[in-house]
Amino acid sequence: MVISSKGRYALRVMVYLAVNHSDDYIPLKEISKKEDLSQKYLETITRMLSKAHLIEAASGHGGGYRLTRNPADYSISEILNLTEGSLAPVSCLKDEQNMCERSSACYTLPIWEGLAKIINDYFDNMTLADVVRLATEADKPEENKADKEDKKPDSRKVKESN
């Protein structure tokens, strides 16, 4: 399974809208510039997201895009399934019903079914809000480092107490 650029860019748009979540619309030009993505390509992606009611669009002055729901109410699988169609690791699992004539004799099928379950469970249980939280934590390496330093025991005190 390889997530296409369409899927990755759709996630980036959704995460950007989640980070800047408000009642205001965010112009596509801003998203394009901040995310360093082609505005023309983003037009296709935002049209797809809008058609699926994941985002809403407004044209004219003050127009742009915004989320239709709270970031915690979007699963990552919802977004990726829209752009990718399927997150199945092998083609025989792409449809609900496995139509492969060898499926009953396939020794490796349980491996692929297990991997598909792990992938789906992971993306089903991760929300846009989770991604924003993880990204926010990752943006603060110095602060996190300082917090960890504060929690380290002072080696002099450890030696003194022995």
Domains and CATH numbers, the chain: 5-138 (1.10.10.10)
pLDDT over threshold 90, residue 37: yes
CA dihedral (91, 96, 97, 98) in degrees, to 10, reads 20
Confidence category of residue 146, pLDDT binned at 50, 70, 90: low
Q: How far is CA 64 from the centre of its chain?
A: 21
Residue of 70, 50, 49 whose CA lies nearest to 128:
70
Task: Kindly write down the DSSP assignment for every residue of the chain, as one continuous string.
Answer: ----HHHHHHHHHHHHHHHT-SSS-B-HHHHHHHHT--HHHHHHHHHHHHHTTSEEEE-STT-EEEESS-GGG-BHHHHHHHHHS---SSGGGSSSS---TTGGG-SSHHHHHHHHHHHHHHHHT-BHHHHHHHHHHHT-HHHHHHHHHHHSPPHHHHHHH-
**pLDDT, tens digit, 9 for 90 and up, residues 102-139:** 878 889 999 999 999 999 999 999 999 999 999 888 87
pLDDT recorded at residue 139: 78
* Confidence (pTM): 0.80
**Average of per-residue pLDDT across 42-67:** 97
What is the share, in percent, of the chain residues with pLDDT greater than 90?
67
pLDDT recorded at residue 155: 44
Confidence category of residue 147, pLDDT binned at 50, 70, 90: low
Distance (Å, rounded) from C-alpha 43 to C-alpha 46? 5
Distance (Å, rounded) from C-alpha 61 to C-alpha 80? 31
